[in-house]
Amino acid sequence: MAQVSIKDNEVDVVIGVLHADMTSFMEEWRPVFSRFHLIIIKDPDLKDELRIPEGFNLHVYTKSDIERVVRPSSASLLLSGYSCRYFGYLVSQKKYIISIDDDCIPARDSDGNLVDVVTQHVTNLTTPATPFFFNTLYDPYRKGADFVRGYPFSLRSGVTCALSCGLWLNLADYDAPTQALKPGQRNSRYVDAVLTVPAKVMMPVSGINIGFDREMVGPALLPALRLAREGNLRWETVEDIWCGMCLKVVCDHLRLGVKSGLPYVWRKERGDAIESLQKEWEGVKLMEEVVPFFQSVRLSRAAVTAEDCVVEIAEAVKQRLGPLDPVFARAAQAMVDWVKLWKVVRTQSPPSVA
């Protein structure tokens, strides 16, 4: 199908920074990132000064910016660690956001070429998704592919894709128990596919490598589920998994699509899974309640925007999950606060930050 031309000024690359020395990260990504505007959010808990090489078009936001903008001020506490990136989503004014963890570098495809993560995410987001019927040749809009025999013609125009979930070579996004059991396992399989995750199907959205349409679903990416002993390793968080499931429900309800597959990033070695095991398995336990909830939550016809959907989900979380664990009640409140904050920041344009 048509080649996509990326309008560079429609994209923000948002990086939540947990490691002060960004030199090697930025140099590795220079070939891909130098065209785009970057929003760098420094984890408020990070004490050291950021070191960022020259030659990029970027804005850096720090703890003081977060505290100035975010209301209620208790909500700013949620924007630490990996969740600091949500501040970037809040203040961005671009249509598309690409967000990568700061311990990832570009991957190479099977031909040895550097994977341009931004172009691939934007391609995924600017070609339709096909959530209502599975295409066995994967994304029919990719060059050299199409819909197969038996695919209903009325479904071939697809729907807007709002979320693009990329994957990871080397250190895949496993949980701590899995990685601890298989300490040597590294993902070396480059699967050359993008596919739409069908409607009504739940999935674990990893925040490590994503792209989304901020105009369509921005408010639904939110910091809400914070574990008691959340840490600075992905093994010690589920905030992205939570927000991803909210997002899938929102997309299914609004008839938007979610794609998964390319692009890959190369995720560097970091942390010790066994050490992370010693922390509570809180996240793993919570998933058992969270998944059935999201599989069954239904939104009303009155919910026609992402904000409406988030508010309804929050209410359902409060009613059905709140009684099970206080972390859910807090998550529900955080979701409601975030939507309010999103509206406030939107009406102050440009947002009042440095």
Partner 1 sequence: MAQPSVSPTPILKDELDIVIPTIRNLDFLEMWRPFFQQYHLIIVQDGDPTKVIKVPEGYDYELYNRNDINKILGPKASCISFKDSACRCFGYMVSKKKYIFTIDDDCFVAKDPSGKDINALEQHIKNLLTPSTPFFYNTLYDPYREGADFVRGYPFSLREGVPTAVSHGLWLNIPDYDAPTQLVKPLERNARYVDAVLTIPKGTLFPMCGMNLAFNRELIGPAMYFGLMGDGQPIGRYDDMWAGWCTKVICDHLGLGVKTGLPYIWHSKASNPFVNLKKEYKGIYWQEELIPFFQAATLSKECTTVQKCYIELSKQVKAKLGKVDEYFIKLADAMVTWIEAWDELNPSGDSAELLPNGSKK
Question: Taking CB under 8 A as the rule, does residue 234 contact partner 1?
Answer: yes
Give 52 or 241: the residue with its C-beta nearer to partner 1: 241
Residue 337 CB, shortest distance to partner 1, in Å, is 24
Residue 275 CB, shortest distance to partner 1, in Å, is 16
Give 58 or 287: the residue with its C-beta nearer to partner 1: 287
Binders of partner 1 in range 162-191 (CB under 8 A): 165, 167, 172-175, 177-178, 181-182, 185, 187-191
Question: Taking CB under 8 A as the rule, does residue 200 contact partner 1?
Answer: yes
Give 192 or 215: the residue with its C-beta nearer to partner 1: 192
Give 177 or 351: the residue with its C-beta nearer to partner 1: 177
Question: Taking CB under 8 A as the rule, does residue 229 contact partner 1?
Answer: no
x-or-dash string of contact with partner 1, 96-135, rule CB under 8 A: --------------x----------------------xxx
Question: Other CB atoms closer than 10 Å to residue 209's CB: what's the count?
Answer: 23
Give the 3-state DSSP-derived string for the chain, with helices as H, strands as E and coil as C.
Answer: CCCCCCCHHHEEEEEEECCCECHHHHHHHHHHHCCCEEEEEECCCCCCCCECCCCCEEEEECHHHHHHHCCCHHHHCCCCHHHHHHHHHHHCCCCEEEEECCCEEECECCCCCECCHHHHHHHHHHCCECCCCCCCCCCCCCCCCCCCCCCCHHHCCCECEEEEEEEEEECCCCCHHHHHHCCCCCECCCCCCEEECCCCCCCCCCCCEEEEEHHHHHHHCCCCCCCCCCCCCHHHCCHHHHHHHHHHHHHHHHCCEEEEEEEEEEECCCCCHHHHHHCCCHHHHHHHHHHHHHHHCCCCCCCCCHHHHHHHHHHHHHHHHHHHCHHHHHHHHHHHHHHHHHHHHHHCCCCCCC
Q: How many residues bind partner 1 (CB under 8 A)?
A: 58
Binders of partner 1 in range 260-299 (CB under 8 A): 260, 284, 287-288, 291
Give 201 or 228: the residue with its C-beta nearer to partner 1: 201
Give 148 or 304: the residue with its C-beta nearer to partner 1: 148
Give 66 or 194: the residue with its C-beta nearer to partner 1: 194
Residues that bind partner 1 (CB under 8 A): 110, 133-138, 142, 144-155, 165, 167, 172-175, 177-178, 181-182, 185, 187-193, 197-206, 234-235, 238, 241, 244, 260, 284, 287-288, 291
